[in-house]
Structure 1
């Protein structure tokens, strides 16, 4: 067994205990007071001097001046109830159903090991514990955005970034997946407000029906996938909400459409945003109505730098002693690490926590989801191996 796997395995019970504490005490968005206190106390215990650089955004460094690699974990939960029989199940209306508690626990484990090897580090490792990856803040500014604005990539300047995400239901326990280029999709939420003219249902000719207009806009937008997207490209366009009126015999004066756009290529993302605006405005004009399209604050796709990813993949396979899985296609999930991946060479791994055959049947964001704790020490070792080997070669 590789030495970092051995050291992480020796810390396994501490990693799991940290994860269970965080799991039982979830917090959302930027409101991570207890979570931050726990993380900062642990880092201080391990010999660090952690800093809050923005609301619930923690940074700590280890090593010596030189090249700098950043290791990142997200800390926030989701605003939903957890439904299972775990003795450390979250109680209330917040839950770690995306596994960020495991990411935080794995990086805390890595922090402890890296501090023990500080004299051997040929540069600096910067640890980033971020809030609000899920983007639940009403401001629309995610935790990744906030930490970049607060200078997480500076002082010292970051040269490379490594992060990882556990998966449930799709990858075998301990399996490591990665791909070069686009890995995760961009994510944009849009809102289309259609303004018509309200009237009594018995006299539709005296009004302009915004529901009719909204239906035509819906059909036009859906045709973007069928007729304007290249067959080899991957984009998801979903209308999740259509609201209009509150009485059967009244044609309302407004209708509202809300949806999401996910794309793996920035040019496709930009094209779809332009076409959604054009289709909405022109459809509305054709029926004597008006349409106003607003895109909320979105995030780009996560891009794995090919050279860095090839390098870290080599170190990962050396660590585990078996080949990693080459993911042929990007995933439609999103992650605000994308903001950083557009600025600094980045590699983002997917760490398997069990398939349906292994008893892990539920996906992320499901109230019943479970994560296999047996793989957490491997995630800790992966953080350490990536940082140490990269610094040795840079």
Structure 2
């Protein structure tokens, strides 16, 4: 059975998607604080006669549409949270919240899924089984909203799940994915070094926590180059080092934060062990005390082969072979991985970059923006994917 897609209906909805996205961009909320965003989503779903559950695993919202005929339960997911970054864009929809902005496209994900929910609310006769719209909080911050929503039962009865990420490194109009591993597992480490502070002119009676931290950072950089198989992919990055107050004071304390990214579980465990050993022994060598907090974060995101093949077939039909590309493995992480551990599905990158419009800044950049036409591409793709999954066993 083939779906009778109404392009005119989606084009009509698209103007609202842009409005929603710009409202959400102006009013961002951080992870675990998405109360107003969740209310915004729930209000619109209810307006369209969609069954709504709120407070799912925190600020999560789930909308449900059931068809008149039996069939599969297909879930579509969008994330809603913003980042602690000051928006430096100059445009009428720039963030109005100091130090908070949508610098990763989650406002677009939310608006896209709202558009899809609106579309299917007008075409319930196309639904075989159930469509479940998952609006997830807290993707940006471990332990993440996905695992909490799963624990709250969001995947009960779900047969297949799809998600997209609007992705500016790919030009608008293109889509990309791959069967198997797509995005890496991401772990976090937090190191607190305690030395013995003192006068910068008499270092011999101190334990310089800045020196210890510097040595530790250099030693951590040997893990990938000397402990990991060169044919395996891994990253150890120190993103923050905080210490000291003045030029002539030897700092007593130094704090370091970083991340480790891997695809292979054995490599993931190896890196954790090496970080623990290097932290302990480096600090001991300098006579400093240390506390390490190592958090195992999101697992590797692994796409189901059959659902990725479905995506490739649908995307090629909709957009053409040249616009449907195979994504390389990448080191970003996504808690959509937790859904894919439990239910077959596919996570898809939808091109959102447009250099001519100045929309080429990387994700998590203060001037990040995306071509809003990408939301139309994403909505059209997910509408067809859901329909194909419902109608073709």
TM-score, normalisation: structure 1: 0.89
Does residue 1:115 correspond to 2:114, yes or no? Answer: no
> What are the residue-to-residue correspondences of 1:34-73 with 2, within 5 Å?
34-52=36-54, 53-64=56-67, 65-73=70-78
Does residue 1:296 correspond to 2:295, yes or no? Answer: yes
Match of 1:283, SS state, is: helix
Equivalent residue number for residue 365 of structure 2: 366
2 CA distance for matches of 1:252 and 1:343?
48
Shift of 1:341: 2.1
Does residue 1:8 correspond to 2:10, yes or no? Answer: yes
Equivalent residue number for residue 133 of structure 2: 127
Of 68-77 and 191-200, the range deviating more from structure 2: 191-200
Match of 1:385, SS state, is: helix
> 1:268-319, CA deviations, whole angstroms, 9 ceiling, x for partnerless residues?
2221111100111122333444433211362222221222211222122223
Structure 2 unaligned regions, length at least 5: none
Match of 1:3, SS state, is: coil
Equivalent residue number for residue 81 of structure 2: 76
Match of 2:222, SS state, is: helix
> 1:151-198, CA deviations, whole angstroms, 9 ceiling, x for partnerless residues?
1111xx222210001122x21211101112222222222112334445
Structure 1 unaligned regions, length at least 5: none
Q: 1:192 to 1:82 in 2, by over 3 A?
A: closer
2 CA distance for matches of 1:293 and 1:30?
25
Equivalent residue number for residue 342 of structure 1: 341
2 CA distance for matches of 1:243 and 1:272?
23
Match of 1:269, SS state, is: helix
Does residue 1:30 correspond to 2:38, yes or no? Answer: no
Does residue 1:158 correspond to 2:158, yes or no? Answer: yes
Equivalent residue number for residue 221 of structure 1: 220
2 CA distance for matches of 1:159 and 1:281?
46
Shift of 1:99: 1.4
2 CA distance for matches of 1:253 and 1:92?
35
TM-score, normalisation: structure 2: 0.89
Q: 1:261 to 1:317 in 2, by over 3 A?
A: same
1 CA distance for matches of 2:252 and 2:91?
50
Match of 2:20, SS state, is: helix
2 CA distance for matches of 1:26 and 1:200?
45
Q: 1:70 to 1:251 in 2, by over 3 A?
A: same
1:97–1:365 Cα contact (<8 Å) kept? yes
Of 42-51 and 278-287, the range deviating more from structure 2: 278-287
Q: 1:66 to 1:273 in 2, by over 3 A?
A: same
Equivalent residue number for residue 171 of structure 1: 170
> What are the residue-to-residue correspondences of 1:351-362 with 2, within 5 Å?
351-357=350-356, 359-362=358-361
1 CA distance for matches of 2:356 and 2:200?
55
Tell me the number of residue pairs that the alignment of Structure 1 and Structure 2 aligns.
387
2:160–2:343 Cα contact (<8 Å) kept? yes
Shift of 1:240: 2.3
